[in-house]
Amino acid sequence: MDIRAEVLTIGDEILWGQIVDSNSAFMCAELTKIGVRTVCKTSVGDSKYAVTDALQAALTRAEIVLITGGLGPTKDDITKKTLADFFNATLVEHPQAWDNLQQMFARRGRVINELNRAQALLPDKATYIPNDKGTAPGMLFTTPTGQLVVSMPGVPFEMKHMLLAYVVPKIKEAFTTPIIVHRFLQTVGIPEAELALRLEAWEDALPSHIKLAYLPSRGRVKLRLTGTGAQATLLKQDLEHEAAKAIPVLGKYLFSHQDQELEQYLTDLFVAQNLTLAAAESCTGGAFAQRVTAWPGAGSWFNGSAVVYTREAKIQLGVRPDIIDEQGIVSEACARAMAIAAKAFYGADYAVACTGVAGPGLPTDTPPVGTIHIACAGPGGAVVHQQLALLQDRAINIDLTVINMLNMVRLQIENA
């Protein structure tokens, strides 16, 4: 009863290694969500022969084939012509596509030339799929045996919108996809292996219609419980029942029940409690502030961050020179002083700071690469500190330090 899909991405630039194909991962993830199993993913160049060959192979293995790319006006529309030939169809101007094209160009104040107008041509055996974000329409074909072949543009935000708004509903219409409900448990600060050990008994006792996935990213592990069944309300109850058993085991490592990032969780926490945050960053070099402000709305709770890379900049922020001279620039005392200084400079309720050796460096470095001190100053003069012993890699060390800083702020507020 498995519904199988294949993903086919088209473009010479993919095979030249000029771009990383992130489209196919998005499509696979969305298919997984609705209970469709991707069995193969293929990328071929802008060649009619290669596309036909790949499509033919895909149709021997799957009920659904999702294609992206090769629809631009400058690419000689290789995908559209190839699909028209494959399905024995003729290209004709589609009124709705032509309408959408005119509106798109009018909005951008541009004139349509013949090359552009050709984008409104569609194979007469295709169902038109609107492109609300661009000029190349999508196409859906149904084979005599009921397989679906869908062609979408390669521009990521056009494809993503089209997939979610039109293609997923069409798949659900054509196939009986199972009802799938997800429940998330987001953890931070505990390695995947340790987590798996703690949860082993619970995982083994899960009923057969509920599956657990460990989705690790740097410093965090997202647990996804997926329930499959016939009735959404019952599934949700089952998932809550199972999640409730895991929550006490996860303890302080659990930060959220939503599918969200740690910094999104912090945003909600600070906004709800009407608090403000600031930072002083040495070894993370602005990466903490960058991550927090990547989400809209940071202005209402994040006052700012002083990136103080040099000794002088730390002193200018308010760290006493004797602390640096006597305890060292990479020290608990310096991290604490930076947090206190940033809290005062930015007038914030909380301020978090870091100082350390991100690397790369020599094995003889003192302190060694990966030694990082973080501290957080909160209301009433409370300052917490933690020393991290990280790795040799600069980018990973910066990233892990940011995660640890975010988590330190969370714990200090939740324990307040």
CB 314 within 8 A of CB 338: yes
Q: Which is nearer to a second copy, 158 or 281 (CB)?
A: 281
| One-letter amino acid of 363 | P
Q: Which is nearer to a second copy, 28 or 174 (CB)?
A: 28
Q: 112: how many CB neighbours lie within 10 A of its CB?
A: 16
320: contact with a second copy by CB under 8 A? no
Tell me which of 87, 260, 394, 411 binds a second copy, using CB under 8 A.
394
Q: Which is nearer to a second copy, 86 or 123 (CB)?
A: 86
**Please, what is the minimum distance in Å from the beta carbon of residue 274 to a second copy?**
15
How many Cα atoms within 13 Å fall on the side-chain side of residue 137? 25
Q: Which is nearer to a second copy, 138 or 304 (CB)?
A: 304
160: contact with a second copy by CB under 8 A? no
Whole-angstrom Cα distance, residue 223 to residue 253? 12
168: contact with a second copy by CB under 8 A? no
391: contact with a second copy by CB under 8 A? no
Q: Which is nearer to a second copy, 122 or 136 (CB)?
A: 136
CB 36 within 8 A of CB 1: no
DSSP readout, 36-52?
A: EEEEEEEEE-S-HHHHH
Q: Which is nearer to a second copy, 6 or 238 (CB)?
A: 6
Q: Which of residues 76-105 bind a second copy (CB under 8 A)?
A: none
Q: Find the distance separating the first CA and the last CA of the chain, reported in whole Å.
A: 52
Tell me which of 64, 308, 406, 409 binds a second copy, using CB under 8 A.
308
| One-letter amino acid of 24 | S
26: contact with a second copy by CB under 8 A? yes
Whole-angstrom Cα distance, residue 392 to residue 360? 6
63: contact with a second copy by CB under 8 A? no
Whole-angstrom Cα distance, residue 84 to residue 273? 58
Binding pattern for the stretch 187-216 against a second copy, x by CB under 8 A and - elsewhere: --------------------------x-x-
256: contact with a second copy by CB under 8 A? no
Select from 411, 358, 402, 362 the least CA-distant residue to 382.
Answer: 411
- Residue 343 to residues 21, 208, 279, 302, 303: CA-CA distances in angstroms? 43, 51, 8, 12, 10
Whole-angstrom Cα distance, residue 269 to residue 264? 9
Token readout for 49 is: 């022969």
**Please, what is the minimum distance in Å from the beta carbon of residue 71 to a second copy?**
19
CB 351 within 8 A of CB 408: no
| One-letter amino acid of 378 | G
Whole-angstrom Cα distance, residue 350 to residue 386? 16
Task: Give the binding-site size for a second copy (rule: CB under 8 A).
Answer: 68
* Runs of H (alpha helix) within 34-148: 48-59, 78-86, 95-107, 114-117
**Please, what is the minimum distance in Å from the beta carbon of residue 46 to a second copy?**
12
29: contact with a second copy by CB under 8 A? yes
Q: Which of residues 269-288 bind a second copy (CB under 8 A)?
A: 278-279, 281, 284-288
16: contact with a second copy by CB under 8 A? yes
155: contact with a second copy by CB under 8 A? no
Token readout for 139 is: 């196409």
Tell me which of 72, 137, 356, 359 binds a second copy, using CB under 8 A.
359
Q: Which is nearer to a second copy, 313 or 411 (CB)?
A: 313
Listed ranges 29-37, 135-143, 250-258, 379-387: which one lies at the site for a second copy (CB under 8 A): 29-37
Listed ranges 23-31, 107-115, 148-156, 165-173: which one lies at the site for a second copy (CB under 8 A): 23-31
Q: Partners of 6 in the beta sheet?
A: 40, 65
Q: Which is nearer to a second copy, 53 or 124 (CB)?
A: 53
CB 39 within 8 A of CB 2: no
Whole-angstrom Cα distance, residue 95 to residue 175? 29
Tell me which of 219, 304, 356, 378 binds a second copy, using CB under 8 A.
304
Residue ranges binding a second copy (CB under 8 A) = 14-22, 24-32, 37-45, 50, 54, 57, 213, 215, 278-279, 281, 284-290, 292-294, 296, 298-299, 302-310, 312-313, 316, 345-347, 359-360, 394-395, 398
